[in-house]
Amino acid sequence: LAQLKVGFYKTSCPRAESIVKAAVQKRFNTDKSITAALLRMHFHDCFVRGCDASILIDSTNKSRSEKESGPNLTVRGYELIDEAKKALEKVCPSKVSCADIITLATRDSVVLAGGPSYDVPTGRRDGRVSNINEVNLPGPSLSVSQAFQSFKDKGLTMDDMVTLLGGHTVGVAHCSFFSGRLTNFQGTGKPDPSMDAGLVTTLKGICGNGSNPTAFLDQGTSFRFDNDFYRQIRAKKGVMKIDQELADDRLSSGIVSRFASNANLFRTRFAQAMVKMGNIQVLVGNAGEIRKNCRVIN
């Protein structure tokens, strides 16, 4: 794991992890949806230039950052990272990277939502580049094999992909991401036949008001981190096309079935897959920097 290690800040900033945890707890108390927001931020960060907090950098007059790309316009939770960073800078200036804050905060939020606790190896450093043109993330309308290409390019397996998409157990999606499945699916004039009719009706009710609202991706236990998502997609209740395809495609359906029937297996695998994702192309040693302000390169 390229010099990352559990307890990296034990001597340089002993309270690092508890400071991040306190900031996450405070936000979670008033906003349970922060778990889904952080999972998405972490994923979107790691899939572009690796887990280097390049997603946090603001655009300048000279360059447009990753934040401005289409898929990142609905990423949120930045102010929580800022708050944790500010608290850390008071106690141990220029020691804890923004990349580690994202990784730790995501883990803490998963635990608060009832998900698995796991040790996060730390020691990442922050990137110095953020470019809107480098954002190329797998979208919700891809097939399983198309989406898998992105994961495979990052060294992740099909099992990792199906596991990580289980994070949708606490997620939401804007209607614009799935409305094509509700009425005129692929020009047929009818809803997507792979979606449960009751769910079609429910989602039409949510999406009918024209302001692009959001719907829960797990319509059962929407704020609880559990394996219910897999049971739902097996019952044709996947909201986004890619979620439903996981249950229907022979490349992934076996993994979905295992997770649907074994909650502990999913918890164990999710913890492992998150640690693996958090190690994608990390900067360590003297590479990159430790940003003082997560939004700006030093």
Residue 55's nearest CA partner among 102, 23, 89 is 102
Q: What is the pLDDT of residues 158-199, one digit of tens each?
A: 999 999 999 999 999 999 999 999 998 999 999 999 999 999
pLDDT of res. 1: 44
Q: Is position 140 annotated in a ligand binding site? A: no
Q: 272, 35 in Cβ contact below 8 A? A: no
Task: Identify the active-site residue in 27, 42, 44, 234.
Answer: 44
Encode the chain (298 residues) as per-residue pLDDT tens digits.
458 999 999 999 999 999 999 999 999 999 999 999 999 999 999 999 999 999 999 999 999 999 999 999 999 999 999 999 999 999 999 999 999 999 999 999 999 999 999 999 999 999 999 999 999 999 888 999 999 999 999 999 999 999 999 999 999 999 999 999 999 899 999 999 999 999 999 999 999 877 889 999 999 999 999 999 999 999 999 999 999 999 999 999 999 999 999 999 999 999 999 999 999 999 999 999 999 999 999 9
Structure tokens at 27: 């936000």
Q: Is position 58 annotated in a ligand binding site? A: no
Q: Is position 285 annotated in a ligand binding site? A: no
pLDDT of res. 2: 53
Q: Is position 60 annotated in a ligand binding site? A: no
Q: Is position 11 annotated in a ligand binding site? A: no
Angle between helices 98-112 and 78-91 (to 10 degrees): 120
pLDDT of res. 75: 95
Q: Is position 50 annotated in a ligand binding site? A: yes
Domains and CATH numbers, the chain: 5-137 (1.10.520.10), 144-274 (1.10.420.10)
pLDDT of res. 255: 98
Q: Rounded to whole angstroms, how far apart are CA atoms 1 and 18?
A: 23
Q: What is the pLDDT of residues 220-247, one digit of tens each?
A: 999 999 999 999 999 999 999 999 999 9
Catalytic residue at 174?
Answer: no
